Amino acid sequence: MPAPGASLIIAPRGNAFDYLIPCLLDPRKWTKDQIHAHNPNGYYFPGLAGMGLPFQKLLSAYLQLPRAQSGFVQLVDMVVRQ
């Protein structure tokens, strides 16, 4: 069950995440200017957000992203996959 007050985040999540997920999975779909080049290896927020909200589309997208070999990203990966 989401935390009290989370309804502001949960209500519009489909619109924002439905827009973002395809760009995370295929960076060529992102047509906006970027300050830095896209590097998906360190992205762990879809997994944590998918657990916290809960939102299955984010968890599914997280499982498709490449993983960095850093200790923190590997720890997040273990928590999300539990």
51 assigned to some structural domain? yes
Residue 1 is assigned to a structural domain of this protein: no
The residues, any chain, with a CB within 8 Å of residue 9's CB and separated by 6 or more, are: 53
Residue 28: inside a domain, yes or no? yes
Quick one: DSSP state of residue 67?
-
Residue 38 lies in a domain: yes
Whole-number pLDDT of residue 68: 83
Q: pLDDT tens-digit profile of 66-77?
A: 888 888 888 999
Q: pLDDT tens digits for 14-29?
A: 677 888 888 888 888 8
**Containing domain of residue 25, as a range?**
7-81
Between CA 57 and CA 40 the distance in angstroms is 17
Q: Is residue 49 part of a domain?
A: yes
